[in-house]
Amino acid sequence: MNVGMKLPSSTMPITMTYELYIGDRTFSSWSLRGWLMLEKFGLPYQAHMVGLYTGTMQADLAHLTPARTVPVMRTAEGYVLTDSLAMAETLAENHPNANLYPPDPAARALARSITAEMHSGFHALRSACPMMLNFCWQEFEVSQAVQQDLHRIEELWSLARTRHGSDGPWLFGAYSLADVFYAPVAMRMTAYGLPVSDASRAYVDAHLNDAAFLAWRKAAMKEVHEPFPYQLPLERKPWPGDRN
Ligand SMILES: N[C@@H](CCC(=O)N[C@@H](CS)C(=O)NCC(=O)O)C(=O)O
């Protein structure tokens, strides 16, 4: 905790928690990552909603220079982090005993690598299957490019689980930043019914049943988006665990 740190400006609100700025929970995959990296490790934060889908986002972020996207995090010292990976690395540095990355050096190297690969990659999957948590599409057609992304993701998940995951359901056994970054991938696999192995499906289920994610989704389902921004000409079926 940053207790006792000097604040750089007398006009800065005095708070010892992180200030987290996020967009709509239904759709903002990067916001979900930003929130999980605080919530799952018991770090103190206050969340603020930004008008990602209402057009007020740039005004809402104006006091957080140079932020242009969500999530944004402001530390107790007043430092502004404008990117999810920068936030993750800052939190890992500020809380070395919270095990945001696995403590074992070999596991940590792999966790950092696959986290960074997620952050910078999988563009086909991300653009064809925007995160949405309302319901599941049926018979979604998987392109070759999306299939290639899925193969690579499953390869990375399998490697992490085989080498380091025997002590729990997460990629490195205990929950880590790698799981934070792949949580929205699990949601895309769910929402679009993407074809994955049984082992990957079990990992996706761990995310779907995670108490923090369930709380996030409960709040998301109170949001209203009319018209629905990511329409597809496909039948829908309920999200796992929802009634018709
Ligand atoms: N590289 C950024 C990506 C953040 C991002 O693209 N966030 C989306 C919401 S999920 C956003 O703010 N989009 C609005 C825009 O690009 O104008 C990160 O890792 O935080």
DSSP states of the chain as a string? Answer: --TTPPPS-TTS---SSEEEEE--TTT-HHHHHHHHHHHTTT--EEEEE--TTTT-HHHHTTTSTT--SS-EEE-TT--EE-SHHHHHHHHHHH-TTS-SS-SSHHHHHHHHHHHHHHHH--HHHHHHS----SEEESSPPPPHHHHHHHHHHHHHHHHHHHHH-TTSSBTBBB--HHHHHHHHHHHHHHHTT----HHHHHHHHHHHT-HHHHHHHHHHTT---SS-TT--SS-EEEPTT---
Domain membership flag for residue 241:
no
Q: Are both 18 and 66 inside the same structural domain? A: yes
Residue 150, number of CB atoms within 10 A of its CB: 22
Write the pLDDT tens digit of every residue in 34-78. Answer: 999 999 999 999 999 999 999 999 999 999 999 999 999 999 999
- Confidence class for position 16, pLDDT limits 50, 70, 90: confident
The tally of domains found in the chain comes to 2
| 30 C-beta closer than 6 A to ligand 1 | yes
Domain membership flag for residue 125:
yes
- Confidence class for position 5, pLDDT limits 50, 70, 90: very low
Check residue 9 and give its pLDDT.
43
Check residue 177 and give its pLDDT.
99
* Residue 51: CATH number of its domain: 3.40.30.10
Q: Ligand 1 centroid vs 69 CA: distance in angstroms?
A: 4
Check residue 141 and give its pLDDT.
98
Among 70, 177, 188, 230, residue to substitute to test ligand 1 (most atoms within 8 Å of Cβ) = 70
Q: Are both 148 and 196 inside the same structural domain? A: yes
Check residue 15 and give its pLDDT.
44
CA dist 26 and 48 (Å) reads 15
| 82 C-beta closer than 6 A to ligand 1 | no
Q: Of 130 and 14, which is predicted with more confidence? A: 130
Q: Are both 135 and 28 inside the same structural domain? A: no
Among 63-72, 106-115, 131-140, 235-244, the minimum mean pLDDT is found in 235-244
| 28 C-beta closer than 6 A to ligand 1 | yes
Q: Ligand 1 centroid vs 82 CA: distance in angstroms?
A: 9
Bond prior to 229 in cis (omega within 30° of 0): no
Check residue 6 and give its pLDDT.
41
Domain that holds residue 145: 105-220
Q: Is 203 left (phi over 0), alpha (psi -120 to 50) or beta?
A: alpha
Does the pLDDT of residue 3 top 50, yes or no? no
Check residue 162 and give its pLDDT.
98
Q: Are both 67 and 153 inside the same structural domain? A: no
* Residue 172: CATH number of its domain: 1.20.1050.10
Domain membership flag for residue 244:
no
DSSP-assigned beta bridge partners for residue 81: 73
Contact 195, 118 (CB under 8 A): no
